[in-house]
Chains A and B, each alone.
Chain A
Amino acid sequence: MNEYGNRTLLQCENLTKCYGSTTALEHVNLALEGGRIVGLVGPNGSGKTTLIKLAQHLLTPSEGTILVGGMAPGRETKAIVSYLPDRDFLPQWMSLADVLRFYEDFYTDFRRDRAEEMLANLQIPNRTTIKKMSKGTREKVQLILTMSRDAMVYLLDEPIAGVDPAARDYILRTILTNYNPEALVLISTHLIADVEPVLDEVVFLKEGQVVLHQNADALREETGKSVDGYFREVFKC
Chain B
Amino acid sequence: MSRIPRSYLLNRLVTLVLTILIAATLIWIIPRLSPVDPAEIALGRMAAGAGSVANADEILAQLRAQMGIDQPLIIQYFKYLGGVLVFDFGLSTASFPTPVSALIAQALPWTLGLMVLSLVITFVIGNLLGALMVWERSPRLVKVAIPAAMVFTSIPPILSGLLLMWIFAAKLQWFPLTGSYGLTVEPGWSWDFAQSVIHHGFLPALSIIVVTFGFWALGMRGLMITVQGEDYTTLAKAKGLRPRYILYRYMIRNAILPQITAFALKIGLLIAGQVLVERIFAYNGMGKLLYDAILDQDFPVIQGVSYVIILMTALSVFLVDLVYPFIDPRVRHEAA
Q: Is the pairing of A and B real?
A: no
Report which A residues bind B (CB closer than 8 A): none
